[in-house]
Structure 1
Amino acid sequence: MQKLPVLLQNQQAQNYKVYLDTSDDGSDLTLYLNQSYDADPEIAKWLQNIKVRRALSLGIDRDELNEIFWLGIGQPRTVVPADSTKYSPGAKYATLWAIHDVEQANALLDEAGLTRKDGAGYRLRTDGKGRLTFEIASYAGSFLPFGQMSEAVRAQWRAIGINATVTEGERSMVITRLRDNDVQIFAFVGDGTDHLFNFPQVIPVSPSSYGGPLWGRWYRSKGQQGVEPDPVMKEILEKYTAAFIASDEDRIGLGKEIFAALVDNVYVIGGVGLSPAYGGVRVVKNTMGNVPARQYNGSDAKTSAPSRLMSVFFK
């Protein structure tokens, strides 16, 4: 995406065309707040606090992120998919707790009990162990510069007194950390938001869940392993399970209710979405024929396979 200006500038000279295939994913940048994290009880306490989660979301300037990383063509929003998709709960939820409001974010953090600060204005842990510092982890060398995006979020959170560290790691190593419940906040794309019942990474339904691996283990084992989710997430998971044997009409209603609860409780924080940034910037030589004008760009097919490349030919 960040190479788009150069790609567009050289289309005529280099005899190719740039196609932008927009995704219905609600958020190309999603912060998964690990609700089952337990290595540091103080961090776990605040990740599980709804006022803190809402404050962290309100402390993000999505318009700034959109200009820097999406070149202004994305849409600042939550993780809910496009309004045109069947499971979208409505326009209200596209921005709920996702506007930039430093004053409200600070008020929520104060109400939560994070009132003490150090000389630099950062909020202090309540156990006397210094600054409250969250880690934002991501894959190194991923499809989008999630590490750089996380650094931008870290800088924005200074205005609400929240400190953060940003780490990037080789993919398999980070996956191991995720499955070991060792990651506090994970920055990645909002996988599965466009097709909730195909690929729901925004819901902890497996031990590899980004936002609560122990909750996912509990769900997968039917309560025999892992950690039981909080009441709101339990209800979300019950609706998710019920949807698979529901009528089409009831399943759509359940999907909307799931998204509404996810957004209102800010289990995951959306950033900028409904863009071609993740898998939708396509460069095609003009000597090629039978090229689709619009290629499907969904979380369950982030490749060119749905365009039947075996039917593309050189003129």
Structure 2
Amino acid sequence: MSGYILAAGVRVAAACLVAVSLLSPASALELKETEGLEQLGFINPPPVSERVPQEPLIVDLEASGRKTGVPGGDINTLIGRARDVRLINVWGYARLVGYNEKLELVPDILKDVEVVDGRIFTLHLRKGHKWSDGKPFTSEDFRYFFEDVASNPELTPAGLPPFLLAGGKGPVFEVLDETTVRYSWESPNPLFLPELALSRPPFIYRPAHYLKQYHARYGDPAIIERAASAQKARSWAALHNKLDDMYNAGNPDLPSLQPWVRITAESDQRFVLVRNPYYHRVDSTGQQLPYVDRVIMTVADGKLIPAKTQAGDANLQARNLSFADITVLKKGEKNHGYKTLLWPISKGAEISILPNLTVKDPVWRALLRDTRFRHALSLGIDREMINRVLYFGLAVPGNDTVIDISPLYRAEYRTRWAGFDPDKANALLDEMGLAKRRGDGIRLMPDGRPLEIIVETSGESQTESDALELVGETWREIGVKLFVKPSQRDTMRDRAISGDLVMAVWSGLDNGIPTSEMPPTELVPSRVDWLSWPSWGDYYETGGKSGEKPDWEPAVRLMQLYEAWLTSISPEQRDEIWHQILQIHADETIRIGLVSQVRQPVVVKDVENVPEEAIYGWDPGSQFGLHRMDEFWLSGQR
């Protein structure tokens, strides 16, 4: 195994596979048959030697400090809505390439990746790899996606997605042989590999053998017409898109490469996901993963999930649990035989206050873009008090930025302008010309209006509202009145885009643990749904057809750095770009974070190999996915 070659010419990733190391071909390993596949619904499955790839990914659990498991049993978990069944494809985290616990990208479904000049990517599949229905997984599945799905205007009217563009151009796609494909761009494309490792990946392959029967180019028109009528689809394209449901787990007939698959649709309240008999990973004793036979997801009222978890109704639960539930969960441990792990959440901040720098009110726009104003608001927050009152002192006060788990972390990014200093805050506001106050001490804006800030919330978090009440108490000391306005997330985003929203509260950066190889998208005005600068994001996303062109110097500089990252060819270049972006955020206080590394309760009952200490996040992390849920097993199976 060669690992993969980066543009700098340095071989990496081979040494990164400590926890998921390829020890030897399957032919040199005595594979063990998995019992009970027939009982799970698979009729006459072939022997394991014909189910796993000829070159599987062989996991050395002992090397990573885990225990070799015993196959069998069910993991029960609760979900707040039926659509959350899609989390099985998040937690399973089978990706072409994925992050290991060191946040390094390593081959997973792929045997190997070669990268030349940051623009030519050669993907090597595992010989003998099969879909969950036993059909071969080959380069044809990549060709079908690229040529017949992504490049078909009826199926994909918007054209190739951004991660398949470099310098505005798509790649040359080539099938080299049955297990090798190549994507070649004229310019570097550092977005490509990180995109493949997301919690919701783009799935640049499709089960061609299944979907072709519903594609106008390949399928029988009569069969397509009957299927479209049964699915109430208006056209073959609508039918194809409905059945092509790689992420949502909504189509039980769609073959998968994930560790657990949905094979029936008998209920929308209880979902039974069964082990994929053709999964590509094997432990070093010859047992095919995943260890657990079934993951059972039961829909429950989200507000009742903490109580039901405390009552022992789940043996692996984090979804719909929050920091506020920890005390109750701890009380139930003894009686119901579970333990409550506390994993730090990997967001840049648990709560972040976001001034809308593209608000249309000209007076507010001038205030919010004045660096002194944002510094004053940040200095007027007692983060230590918020940490004590809401998080028992267990969180980390500071800015909304990378946390200390990230290799990009510097203490200054977290602490700059983030101390509680009302005297300094008052001095800055006076310096801005906001010295006039009304009788109750609230300052007056340049046009005579009182300095009253409406901070809008999604209405989904009582903790956010409680935190804002605490912020409001100390902002009064600097002459600023805060009003909390509960709303809904869609309404709030619409108001931000229209320029009516002045300030919002949201969770911090989704990815507080980036490496320089991950795109800095969240920190630049690149998307319309970023509440800090929606009009600038709209301009970028539409290529200038709508929105506003950034005219604020820090935003202009951030976009220049982002474009530089998108054309970078070396880790050293990307590292330097990241630090410049993070320094701008630290200097400008664009996002006013409160605290980070709040603890996520993870309830575990009779499940082995769940790490005692771990991060909990969406990207990178896929919640349980980064910690390899396919290696979890049930102690009752001993």
TM-score, with length taken from structure 2: 0.46
Q: Which one of 75, 79, 82 corresponds to residue 396 of structure 2?
A: 75
For residue 16 of structure 1, what is the aligned residue in structure 2? 338
How far is the alpha carbon of 1:119 from its aligned partner? Answer: 0.6
Q: Which one of 146, 161, 173 corresponds to residue 464 of structure 2?
A: 146
Structure 1 stretches of 5 or more lacking a match? none
For residue 451 of structure 2, what is the aligned residue in structure 1? 132
For residue 281 of structure 1, what is the aligned residue in structure 2? 601
CA distance in 2, matches of 1:91, 1:228: 33
Spell out the pairing of 1:97-136 with structure 2 (5 A cutoff): 97-128=417-448, 130-136=449-455
User: Over residues 247-287 of structure 1, what are the superposed CA-to-partner deviations in whole Å (9 max), with x where a residue is unaligned?
Assistant: 111101111110110121111111100232xxx221122x3
For residue 591 of structure 2, what is the aligned residue in structure 1? 268
For residue 406 of structure 2, what is the aligned residue in structure 1? 85
User: Over residues 128-157 of structure 1, what are the superposed CA-to-partner deviations in whole Å (9 max), with x where a residue is unaligned?
Assistant: 2x3111111111124x72122122212220
CA distance in 2, matches of 1:204, 1:288: 42
Q: Going by fraction, where is helix more abundant, 1 or 2?
A: 1
For residue 324 of structure 2, what is the aligned residue in structure 1? 2
CA distance in 1, matches of 2:519, 2:577: 14
For residue 201 of structure 1, what is the aligned residue in structure 2? 522
Matched, 1:185 2:499: no
Amino acid at match of 1:175: R
**SS state at 1:292 partner:** coil
For residue 561 of structure 2, what is the aligned residue in structure 1? 239
How far is the alpha carbon of 1:104 from its aligned partner? Answer: 0.1
Q: Which one of 556, 573, 577 corresponds to residue 254 of structure 1?
A: 577
Q: Which one of 338, 362, 365 corresponds to residue 44 of structure 1?
A: 365
Matched, 1:291 2:610: yes
For residue 163 of structure 1, what is the aligned residue in structure 2? 481
CA distance in 2, matches of 1:78, 1:297: 19
* Matched pairs, number: 307
Contact 1:203 1:211 in 2 (8 A): no
How far is the alpha carbon of 1:241 from its aligned partner? Answer: 1.8
Amino acid at match of 1:76: P
How far is the alpha carbon of 1:61 from its aligned partner? Answer: 0.2
Backbone CA RMSD of aligned residues = 2.1
CA distance in 2, matches of 1:228, 1:158: 35
CA distance in 1, matches of 2:609, 2:405: 28
How far is the alpha carbon of 1:175 from its aligned partner? Answer: 2.8
Larger Rg: 2
How far is the alpha carbon of 1:67 from its aligned partner? Answer: 0.9
For residue 54 of structure 1, what is the aligned residue in structure 2? 375
**SS state at 1:126 partner:** coil
Amino acid at match of 1:99: G
Structure 2 stretches of 5 or more lacking a match? 1-322
**SS state at 2:522 partner:** coil
For residue 292 of structure 2, what is the aligned residue in structure 1? none
| Residue range with higher mean Cα deviation, 182-191 or 108-117 | 182-191
Contact 1:193 1:202 in 2 (8 A): no
CA distance in 2, matches of 1:226, 1:145: 33
CA distance in 2, matches of 1:111, 1:215: 29
How far is the alpha carbon of 1:163 from its aligned partner? Answer: 1.0
For residue 58 of structure 2, what is the aligned residue in structure 1? none
TM-score, with length taken from structure 1: 0.90
Percent identity, please.
27
Amino acid at match of 1:273: S
Contact 1:194 1:299 in 2 (8 A): no
Q: 1:160 to 1:302 in 2, by over 3 A?
A: farther
- More RCO (CA 8 Å, sep 6+): 1
Amino acid at match of 1:16: Y
**SS state at 1:92 partner:** helix
User: Over residues 4-36 of structure 1, what are the superposed CA-to-partner deviations in whole Å (9 max), with x where a residue is unaligned?
Assistant: 223223322331111111134331111111100
Q: 1:100 to 1:243 in 2, by over 3 A?
A: same
CA distance in 2, matches of 1:72, 1:157: 21
CA distance in 1, matches of 2:437, 2:330: 48
How far is the alpha carbon of 1:184 from its aligned partner? Answer: 1.4
Amino acid at match of 1:169: S
